[in-house]
Structure 1
């Protein structure tokens, strides 16, 4: 854990009006590096993803709760306040908070928050240094801007599903909400750029992040193949469209992943499995030839691999400098020595379960390390604390607001 003095974003305050995955991913990252993130949730309902289950969180007595494990993935290092911003008093509370923060992050459809005076143009009047980041499905402009947009839809419309899955089957989605995650990380980059610019000018700015844009920008070689070569990348399942051998192969007791991306690596693989003659075979001695004859090469390679167990080949091939590894489930990953040595789990306190295990930040700086102060909150866990601290509200005032459903 990093110390407070070393937390690079310590002192920054973030008003977080996001839910589900993309926005919360962004604000969690800011919180990991010291920002004070105040998560705004609807009274009684909270973030939509709290209710996306099963699986459900298990409480400290071993009972199933109605709180999803999904929510826990992107909401540590945040304080939750419960405010009904659809009421004028609730909206005013948030407008007052927004005048006191550095960063405002939201993921409503474009123009939704303008109805409550919570849009960028309204808030910047009282806080010209405000950095206002909008995360939406399709962005703040364009013919699709008003549409709702979840990760699955973005995987479809960006072209990702067109290259995911087997050649004979239906297009497939990636098994995690990758467009959400990418958009969240892009939001962090945009916010950090805006902070750097503010250091120079004192002025904030608005940031427009869309899941659609983030996923399109991540299409990499699939994008450049079409726009520069007129070539539609096909679905190739576990095979790489431009490299071979590069995929999943069977051993005597299961499967493993082998990846070679150039002739040098292929040479090391051929030597390791006792088939250096492949280097003289015109069907295998160049990458293009191996791609053209991938099925023939896979059959020969599999014929060798099935003679020994998976762990034999993983040890032998890695020792030979060939990229190779197991296809892990989460239960395998938990016991993986590299995973454990890298410290990829963090245990945090939780109001319902006592403690909770989440993934460590993948960002490892030599000085500015992440710190883990707070477990994911329950709905409104910090409402009283934040409204007293930042707005100076007394208990009778908050009791009245709660009675009337404002908080």
Structure 2
């Protein structure tokens, strides 16, 4: 199969998570992604997370879970861009590059002649993407930004958490770094649009991506509710946003998530429960009542019924009645799901430096394209693993590469 971005070269000068995710998506789709890291320490993300890929023969991989999930399909080189010789390497890379991604502080790379205007003079077709917390302009542009800050600032925390009036009520951060993750996808999407634009016009361009923008957009239809009505919708805990009943319900041996958010689904549920009178009960006779004002009371009624059955029996009954429901899984249980296995979402990838000889990665959601699917061709790189290869491609001799290493440039 062909790769959608085969022949596209990306210079990835980004660190930590959001921007590296964007570069990884481009790599999954076939781009040659060259990850530029600091000599000695590398990407800050190599030190994040709670688990590390164990290396063979006592080798320290410095591949944390945080780094591993965002840096496959990349070649790693180390460059000290604060030195003139390092800047020369970046400029040489840019001459034939299609894309450069960076997430330094606003204006930081300009000090070294590596800003968009400087590199555009070398390569007018270059697509240069800057990813920052608050964007390139405005009163907060200079401030650093991390995922949790934007879940708080952009409104996600305001609509996530236990409803007011219940124990533990209050705003809650989502577990994964969702703003970072979606910002990475927005980064890749903007770059691919810029590549299409360049294919039509021949022009490169500058892209300003901000985590703040993503965080506000992610509140989506709930924020739109506020814009239309002027009133903030309440936090719903595990309740569904589209109607009700939709929530976690208890079984005798576990938990099930139920979504019976249409009138027909709810009618079928009341029949299955052998309580058809609930369908016309004035407490629950509209979708709004079932999903908002009567939500807690209705879920209690459903749980008194559902707790008599095992998870397996409950799901079979609900499925047989055509009512959407799913088993709640702990992380380990996710990988036991037959459909997860069928979709090959656990992507065991050869890794020459890992003790196991491979590393388990999470497959790309873009892997099911019929003609140009996302693929995993390389494990996450060791720090500077591809210095010799990439520099040789730029015309550097082995002796010159050795001198650059001795001088701390690579």
TM-score category (smaller protein): over 0.9
Which SS does the other structure have where 1:258 is aligned? strand
In 2: Cα distance, 1:102 partner to 1:12 partner: 6
CA contact (8 A) 2:134 2:211 kept: yes
* CA deviation map 1:336-368 (0-9, x unaligned): 100000111212222431210111110121111
Give the alignment partner of residue 399 of structure 2, picking from 372, 381, 396: 396
Give the alignment partner of residue 99 of structure 2, picking from 100, 103, 113: 103
Please report how far the alpha carbon of residue 264 of structure 1 lies from its aligned counterpart in structure 2 after TM superposition.
1.6
Q: Does 1:373 align with 2:369?
A: no
Q: 2:201 — aligned with what?
A: 201
> Which region of structure 1 is more displaced relative to structure 2, 395-404 or 216-225?
216-225
In 2: Cα distance, 1:80 partner to 1:142 partner: 34
CA contact (8 A) 1:31 1:77 kept: yes
Please report how far the alpha carbon of residue 304 of structure 1 lies from its aligned counterpart in structure 2 after TM superposition.
0.5
Q: 1:215 — aligned with what?
A: 215
How many correspondences in the alignment?
Answer: 402
CA contact (8 A) 1:79 1:382 kept: yes
CA RMSD of aligned residues (A): 1.6
Q: Does 1:360 align with 2:363?
A: yes
Which SS does the other structure have where 1:125 is aligned? helix
> Which region of structure 1 is more displaced relative to structure 2, 100-109 or 365-374?
365-374
Please report how far the alpha carbon of residue 274 of structure 1 lies from its aligned counterpart in structure 2 after TM superposition.
2.2
Q: 1:72 — aligned with what?
A: 68
Return closer, same or farther for 1:42/1:141 CA change in 2, 3 Å cut-off: same
In 1: Cα distance, 2:147 partner to 2:219 partner: 15
CA contact (8 A) 1:77 1:375 kept: yes
In 1: Cα distance, 2:43 partner to 2:268 partner: 51
* CA deviation map 1:45-78 (0-9, x unaligned): 1111110132222234699865312211011100
CA contact (8 A) 2:124 2:203 kept: yes
In 2: Cα distance, 1:72 partner to 1:53 partner: 10
Please report how far the alpha carbon of residue 209 of structure 1 lies from its aligned counterpart in structure 2 after TM superposition.
0.7
Please report how far the alpha carbon of residue 223 of structure 1 lies from its aligned counterpart in structure 2 after TM superposition.
1.3
TM-score (norm 2): 0.95
Q: 2:224 — aligned with what?
A: 224
Which SS does the other structure have where 2:75 is aligned? strand
* CA deviation map 1:296-350 (0-9, x unaligned): 2112111100111111111211222211111112210111100000111212222
Greater than 3 Å deviation, 4+ residue runs: 60-67
In 2: Cα distance, 1:64 partner to 1:323 partner: 47
Gaps spanning 5+ residues in structure 1: where?
none
The 5 Å alignment of 1:40-55 reads 40-55=36-51
In 2: Cα distance, 1:19 partner to 1:234 partner: 36
* CA deviation map 1:110-164 (0-9, x unaligned): 1111111111111011101001111111111111111000111111100101111
Q: 1:339 — aligned with what?
A: 340
In 2: Cα distance, 1:251 partner to 1:62 partner: 47
Q: 1:141 — aligned with what?
A: 137
Please report how far the alpha carbon of residue 186 of structure 1 lies from its aligned counterpart in structure 2 after TM superposition.
0.6
Which SS does the other structure have where 2:325 is aligned? strand
Gaps spanning 5+ residues in structure 2: where?
none
Return closer, same or farther for 1:365/1:271 CA change in 2, 3 Å cut-off: same
In 1: Cα distance, 2:389 partner to 2:59 partner: 29
* CA deviation map 1:222-270 (0-9, x unaligned): 2112222111122221123662211111111121111122212212222
Please report how far the alpha carbon of residue 178 of structure 1 lies from its aligned counterpart in structure 2 after TM superposition.
0.4
In 2: Cα distance, 1:182 partner to 1:17 partner: 19
